Amino acid sequence: MNAKISFRNVSQTFPLKKSTFTALDEVSLDIGDEEFVTVVGPSGCGKSTLLNLAAGLATPTSGEVLVDGRTVTGPGPDRGVIFQQYALFPWLTVRGNVEFGLKLASVPAAERRLRAERAIGLVGLTDFADALPKTLSGGMKQRCAIARAYAVDPQVLLMDEPFGALDALTRVQLQDQLLETWSRDRRTVLFITHDVDEAVYLARRVVVMAARPGRIHSVVDVDLPYPRTEDIRLSPEFARIRNAVWTSVYHQTPAAPAA
C-alpha cells in the first residue's frame, strides 16, 4: 500500500503531578493514499490526540508520524483539519471564515470568492454566507467549519467528530455529501467518530481503539462497494460489519487497570 499517512510506534504521554499519563501507546497505522479511514473508540482513548499528531499540532513523545514519507513537523496546507469543537472566527462572516484559509494560501480574491461560494454551497449555507457565527445554530457552525476545510482543497482531510453535534437528518446528508466529494476528488480522509454506523458507512477500514492506554484494538475491513447507498446501509452485510465493530468497541477488556 502506498501510505499517505504513517504512524510508526507512536506514543504520547502527558505529565501528571506525580506520574505520566499514556494517551497513546505504540500506535502503528498506515493510511493509504486516497483511503477513507474512520476511527472509533471509547471516550479518552486518544482519538483526538492521534488526529492532532497527523495535523502537526503536537509532536509524539516517541515514534514518528509521516505524511507522504516526510516527518510531520507542523501544520500545513496539505492537511485540512476539522476540530471536534468547531473553531470559527466570531468576527468574520461565514464567507469570511471560509475564505480565511485561502487568504493565508495567497489565493487571489476572485478565485477565493468562487471557491468559498462552492464550498458554502456544498454544505448548504448559501443563504447564510453573510451571517456571523453567533447567529448560526450549532449544526450550521459545524457546516461552516467543514466548508472552510473543503475550500482549501487539501490532499488530506483530518476530521474529528465533525458531525457529532448535528441532528440525525443533517448528519446523514453530510455523510453522503462527504462521500460524494471524496469519490470525485479522492482525498485521503482520517475521520473520527463515536457513531459506529457512521464509521462503517463511510470507511474502507474502521480502526477500533481501546483506552488506558490508548492503542489500536483492531482494524475492521469494510468490504462494501462505493458509492454507498441507503440499500447498503440497510443490508445484512452492513449490519454484520456494524455488529462486529460494535462488539470491538463496547466489549473491550481493559489492558490495564484504570489509572
Residue type (1 letter), 48? S
60 binds ligand ATP, rule: CB under 6 A:
no
49 binds Mg ion, rule: CB under 5 A:
no
- Binding-site partner at residue 60 among ligand ATP, Mg ion, none, CB < 5 to 8 Å by type: none
Residue 138, SS3 per DSSP = helix
164 binds ligand ATP, rule: CB under 6 A:
no
Distance CA 136, CA 134 (A): 6
Distance CA 77, CA 107 (A): 12
Tell the smallest beta-carbon distance from residue 100 to ligand ATP (Å): 25
48 binds Mg ion, rule: CB under 5 A:
yes
Distance CA 211, CA 226 (A): 31
Percentage helix, strand, coil for the chain under 3-state DSSP, each rounded to 5:
40, 25, 35
Q: Which stretch binds ligand ATP (CB under 6 A): 44-52, 109-117, 124-132, 250-258?
A: 44-52
Residue 199, SS3 per DSSP = helix
Q: Which stretch binds ligand ATP (CB under 6 A): 46-54, 114-122, 170-178, 234-242?
A: 46-54
52 binds Mg ion, rule: CB under 5 A:
no
Q: Which is nearer to ligand ATP, 16 or 169 (CB)?
A: 16
Q: Which is nearer to Mg ion, 153 or 161 (CB)?
A: 161
Residue from 21, 30, 224, 233 touching ligand ATP (CB under 6 A): that is 21
Cis peptide before 162 (omega within 30 of 0): no
Cβ-based neighbours of 59, under 8 Å, separated by 6 or more: 53, 73
Q: Which residues bind ligand ATP (CB under 6 A)?
A: 14, 21, 23, 43-49, 84, 214
